[in-house]
Structure 1
Amino acid sequence: MSPLSNSCITLLDPPNGPYKRPTYSHIASISSPARLIYTAGQVGTLPDGTMVQEFEAQAKQAFINLKVALEAAGASVRDIVKLTYYIVDLEANIDAFRMVYVDFLTDEEGIHKAPSTLLSVARLARRDWLVEVEAVAAVRDLESKL
Structure 2
Amino acid sequence: MSNDNKPQAFNPPGVHEPPPSYKHVCITPILPTSKFITLAGQTGDYKASWIEQVKGAYENVKKCLEAAGASPRDIVHVRHYIVNDSGDADLNKEHVVERGWAPLWIEFMDQHGNGHKPPDTVLGVASLALKGLLYEVEVWAIVHG
TM-score bracket, shorter-length normalisation: 0.7 to 0.9
Q: Which residue of 1 aligns with 2:110?
A: 106
Q: Which residue of 2 aligns with 1:87?
A: 82
Equivalents in 2 of 1:134, 1:17: separation in Å? 25
Q: Which runs of 5+ in 2 are unaligned?
A: 85-91
Report the 3-state secondary structure (helix = DSSP H, G, I; strand = E; otherwise coil) of the residue aligned with 1:86. strand
Listed as ranges, the matches of 1:3-22 within 5 Å are 3=1, 7-22=5-20
Q: How many residues align?
A: 134
Q: Which moved more, 1:25-34 or 1:4-13?
A: 4-13
Q: Which amino acid aligns with 1:132?
A: E
Q: 1:6 to 1:59 in 2, by over 3 A?
A: farther
Q: Which amino acid aligns with 2:81?
A: Y
Q: Which amino acid aligns with 2:17?
A: Y
Equivalents in 2 of 1:6, 1:99: separation in Å? 27
Equivalents in 2 of 1:4, 1:11: separation in Å? 10
Q: Which runs of 5+ in 1 are unaligned?
A: 46-50, 142-146
Equivalents in 2 of 1:54, 1:27: separation in Å? 32
TM-score scaled to structure 2, two decimals? Answer: 0.81
Task: Give the percent of matched residue pairs that are identical in Structure 1 and Structure 2.
Answer: 34
What displacement does 1:12 show?
Answer: 1.7
Q: Which residue of 2 aligns with 1:40?
A: 40
Q: CA RMSD in A?
A: 2.2
